[in-house]
Amino acid sequence: MQLRASFPNSTQREPLFILELSISIERLGEGLSYLTRYEQGEQVVLRSIRNHDVIAASDPQQGIPDWIPPDLAGRAFVDDGGNQRFVIYKGSTELGMELIRYLDSELFFGLVRTYRSWFWFFSLVTMLFAVTFSIFMYRFMHRPLVTLIRSFRKLQEGDFKVRIYRKKKDDFTYLYEYFNTTVEQLNSLIDQVYRQKILVQRAELKQLQAQINPHFLYNSFFMLHRMIKLEDENAITFSKKLGQFFQYITRNTSDEILLIREVEHTRNYAEIQEMRLGSRLSIEMGEPPEALKLLYVPRLILQPLLENAIEHGLKQKERGGFISMTFGENEAYWIIEISDNGEGMDDQRLQQLNQRLGDVSHDDYEITGLINIHRRLNIKFGPGSGITVALGSDGGLSVQIRLAKEVATDVSNLDR
């Protein structure tokens, strides 16, 4: 290929000289090949503007598209026999040539498609992860929390039978177990308070029925009448003790009281009975330890036991009846023992009585004062506490009260 240029380049003057340049088509094609970046799918072509003849190409063996650019410079997508190409071109009117670069669209969009595939892949993976995480959160966090909240609402509405069970072992399992334990403890506390209230009411009712009865009342007032008539100086003491006795059992106080107050009431009752029965009865009461004096116990637990010994154990004794009340302790329990020298009880009846005392779950309405006291002590001081009955060394009965030390609470304030 030859290129010719004159100087000056004017039609009005004769040129001073003419420059003629010969260019090797083969070497020009090699030069164009340096403009390519890909071994396949790319072609750089130098072509004439006038007749569109190909002057040189980077790789003539690939074939040269016959697309004609619409203007001197630009870029476009063209269809070359079903193969889409991206074309960049630039023309020069002075040289009468145009440089065209062809690229297969696969080279141009291949990475975009790859990135798009990866994009959809990661989008799908992210969506699957989000869905899986949502299902996990719902099954293992949201649903158990909803179950727990609903159970608390049922508990708040008063349904103490609600329980939650979970097969899997996780943190919610422990929460459910603690919830169930709490509900059971609430049930137990409510049951204890209910039973304690009912038993206290029954105890007070039985004491009113037992003590304010015609026999005790008539005998007491008849004796007081005789003492006043005989101008017995003990009449004042007797009337005072009788008033204190009825005041204690009839006044509306709390369900629990200091043991020292219960002992004082029982001692007052014992002195009344000794004054009434004279030589038929002698009662000896010990002094409780200081720590035991300040222990809160259910009301009316000692005097009914003393009365029971008088009415049943010593009923047939004309003289020489004896009752003792002692206070002691061992490593686990405070012990209060009431013994008499009465008629006692046969082995079969004694066994039946201890069986009824041991059955704390039995809710028989018609229970004796002895069982009432046992159950109240069992509720207050826990299993192992309460009453046991055995044959005494003097032939009568020995009733023993046991109060668990680990449950008993010593207080220093006498006013509760």
For residue 291, give the nearest of 319, 314, 258 by alpha carbon.
258
| pLDDT bucket at 216, cuts 50 / 70 / 90 | low
In angstroms, what CA-CA distances link 16 with 2, 3, 6, 8, 10? Answer: 20, 17, 8, 7, 11
Spatial separation of the C-alpha atoms in residues 380 and 383, rounded to whole Å: 9
Residue 416 has pLDDT above 60, yes or no: no
Contacts of residue 409, defined as CB under 8 A and 6 or more positions apart, other chains included, come to: 295, 296
Name the average pLDDT for the chain: 81
Q: Which residue did the predictor score with more confidence, 155 or 98?
A: 98
Specify the residue for token string 């009733």: 399
pLDDT tens by residue, 165-212: 877 777 778 788 888 888 888 887 877 777 777 666 666 555 544 544
With a pLDDT cut of 90, the percent of the chain lying above it is 16
Q: How many CB atoms lie within 10 A of CB 148?
A: 15
For the chain, state the CA radius of gyration.
57
pLDDT tens by residue, 255-309: 788 999 999 999 999 999 888 888 888 999 999 999 899 899 988 889 889 988 8
Q: Write down the pLDDT at residue 217.
A: 72
Q: Which helix (H) or strand (E) holds 79?
A: strand 73-80
Q: Which residue did the predictor score with more confidence, 413 or 266?
A: 266
Query: Residue 390, SS3?
Result: strand
The model carries a pTM of 0.52
Q: Map out the domains of the chain with their CATH numbers.
A: 2-107 (3.30.450), 111-185 (no CATH), 186-404 (3.30.565.10)
